[in-house]
Structure 1
Amino acid sequence: MDNLIEKLKSGTLVPFLGMGIFEDSIAKDGTRLPFDSDSMILALNNGRAMSPRLMYEYSRAAMSLEQRKGREFIVQMTNHIYSSKEYDLPKVYTWLKAIKPKYVIDTNMDDSLQKIYSDVEHFLITGVSRITADYDRFIIYKFNLSKNTYEKIEKEALTLDLPILFKPMGSTKPEMNFIISDADFVDWLTEAMGGFAMPPILKDFRKDKEYLFMGVDFSKDTFRMVANEITIDLKGGFTIFNKPELTKKEDKFIKTHNLENLNLSLNEFINSHA
């Protein structure tokens, strides 16, 4: 972990964020924000558990809700989870705010990442699914600092001279686009395997990069597949799991991708690199 901060700033080490970074986050109204698959299901279903088959992974539960109540319901419910509550930024984001990494991958669907870059110009790429216009499963925006607004741009206009925020599962802002149900993930992963999940310039840039996985649940099949597609040609990197024993699926992913697990809590890791 030598020169960690410098590597993050240069883009040779890329933060990859998952829901687990919200584990200690409490909204101002006293409720907890979703930090794993189970808590996301409860949030989507008004606090009620669903059948064991649907509780397996939140994408499956979201698909069931979408089939019963419609696509607009699941979009609005996802937006409500993050936009209806006031909450402090999780500690991982406040740590990254001071560093401003060149490239960040964030699979969370709120706008915390955009907030920590709101004082600098940057590019934002959000995932999108089930569209018929073309094969690309992303939308690119450029943040105009003077106007404090995001403006859509073509993929050819994306450059490496500004920080790049990549939110492959979508976001509440600047537009509500979410990869959340099984149908979303199947569509997104299908196009990702065809090379249409990220702009060409990023597919070149990601080669031989190391990744710092924070709060990503590799025990779930979906997010292992998402991480695998986004980090093709990786050099290696680190995971942060503070647990006595990794699951077989976690251990296999870590070994297959030449990663090293740091047996620390996220807070311990951040405090040691503050």
Structure 2
Amino acid sequence: MTPELREKLLAGLRDGSIVPYLGPGVLADVRDPASGAAMPADSDSLIIAMNGGKPMAPKLMYEFPRAAMNVELKRGRSTVTKFLNRTYGETVWTRAALHDWLKEIAPNYVIDINRDTQLQDSYAAVPHTLIVGIARIGGTDYRYKLYAWDGSSYAPVTTIDPSKPVLFKPMGTPRPEGVYIASDADYVDFITELMGGFSIPPEIKEMRKGKQYLLLGMRLNRDTERMVMADIIWSAAEPAGWVFISEPTTKERRYCKKIGLEIIEEDIFAFIGAAVAG
């Protein structure tokens, strides 16, 4: 990466023209302080953690939504929700270096497809709006919930205050309530409504026009995550932005060229100036 591109990215994150889009890799340095175990964030680690520390059948190891669907069918949807609540809402974790770095920049709009609360913790002192993705819930045509944070608690709201930061957690969070997009059935419902425009608030549809995106901790070799991302960044500028992938596959190169993302073949932790323990 050239010094000029680095400065452009940092300036864009600060002024809001570039939106950070966070994937599982931003949590690579997060640990359980008692055991030293890594936080399960990517697909394989989530599946193994959900299965009591053991891999599942190869066909289920393909992707977390598939494994979560299997657990849901056998033991109920609440089993998956309880696992995610326990993992992200009840377990104490160390802070991610990237979240500390992002807290200093304080972007006005952040998209985070992880299900942990570290992004929310970064904005705990700042009134903001939280958008949480939902699926397979009756009584509404929409696939999101809105909450306003006043500095001490969240309260449900129906509109977004554009003068305050917006945190978009499409795959859910345990706070203020444990609601998640996890199983195949969740994703089918959420993505269907995302394509129809019902998974994104109208204020975000307007605000996102002409934005560029910086994908951090994302791999683009899974169709599910690519479909979610492509619809969330709809109406992006041309080019759409950048993605950090240190060793991209041919499939990732082809997809990024198609969608207008420039691959930066570097590690995100080198970009933010942090070391990550193995």
Q: Secondary structure at the match of 2:192?
A: helix
1:269 deviation in Å?
0.7
Aligned equivalent of 1:72: 78
Matched, 1:194 2:214: no
Counterpart Cα distance in 1 of 2:203 and 2:266:
34
Counterpart Cα distance in 1 of 2:128 and 2:10:
19
| Aligned AA (1:46) | G
Aligned equivalent of 1:9: 14
Aligned equivalent of 1:266: 268
| Aligned AA (2:31) | I
Aligned equivalent of 1:252: 254
Contact 2:148 2:154 in 1 (8 A): yes
Aligned equivalent of 2:57: 51
Aligned equivalent of 2:160: 158
The aligned length equals 266
In the TM superposition, 1:1-274 aligns within 5 A as 1=5, 2-28=7-33, 29-145=35-151, 148-154=152-158, 157-235=159-237, 236-243=240-247, 246-271=248-273
1:108 deviation in Å?
0.6
Contact 2:41 2:114 in 1 (8 A): no
Counterpart Cα distance in 2 of 1:49 and 1:3:
42
Contact 1:21 1:35 in 2 (8 A): no
- Please give the root-mean-square deviation of Cα atoms over the aligned residues, in Å: 1.3
Q: Secondary structure at the match of 1:60?
A: helix
Unaligned residue ranges in structure 2 (runs of 5+): none
Counterpart Cα distance in 1 of 2:71 and 2:219:
22
Contact 1:123 1:162 in 2 (8 A): yes
Unaligned residue ranges in structure 1 (runs of 5+): none
1:265 deviation in Å?
0.9
Q: 1:103-123 CA deviation, whole Å, 9 max, x = no partner? A: 000001111111000111111
Q: Percent of counterpart pairs with the same letter? A: 39
1:159 deviation in Å?
2.5
Contact 1:224 1:253 in 2 (8 A): no
Counterpart Cα distance in 1 of 2:236 and 2:250:
21
1:125 deviation in Å?
0.5
| Aligned AA (1:6) | A
Counterpart Cα distance in 1 of 2:266 and 2:46:
24
Counterpart Cα distance in 2 of 1:84 and 1:170:
15
Contact 2:194 2:231 in 1 (8 A): yes
Q: Secondary structure at the match of 1:40?
A: helix
1:138 deviation in Å?
0.5
| Aligned AA (2:254) | K
Counterpart Cα distance in 1 of 2:193 and 2:8:
36
| Aligned AA (1:26) | R
Q: Secondary structure at the match of 1:54?
A: coil
Q: Secondary structure at the match of 1:238?
A: strand
Q: Secondary structure at the match of 1:242?
A: coil
Counterpart Cα distance in 1 of 2:220 and 2:166:
24
Counterpart Cα distance in 1 of 2:15 and 2:137:
34
Q: TM-score, normalised by structure 2?
A: 0.92
